[in-house]
Amino acid sequence: MRRQVKALVDTRDNGDLYVQAPAVGLYGFAPRVGEVLVGRSRLGRLTTLGVTVDLVLPAGVTGRVAKRVAVTRHDPVEYGQSLLLSLIHIS
């Protein structure tokens, strides 16, 4: 089982949630547009210096994937960069 790391989440004034990279690395295996995610859902994988971890949504965060920001299996990302998705908050 791969180590899990929580992604960063930024809540915008309009209520949208943006999931961001918690570290520099290569990001891939993102959820599909339209998929509903809840706290601790897997968001993909982040590889940094040859170490791959599963990114997970923090507990208490729920939303539907509205947009994939990057589309390849191994997109380079930097700390705080929006990942392959933004979430529309749902109750």
Nearest to 74 by CA among 58, 50, 57: 50
How would you write the pLDDT of the chain (91 residues) with one tens digit per residue? 799 999 999 988 887 889 999 999 999 999 999 999 999 999 999 999 999 999 999 999 988 998 888 667 789 999 999 986 676 666 5
Given a contact cutoff of 8 angstroms between Cβ atoms, the answer to whether 44 and 56 are in contact is no
Alpha-carbon gap, residue 32 to 29, rounded angstroms: 9
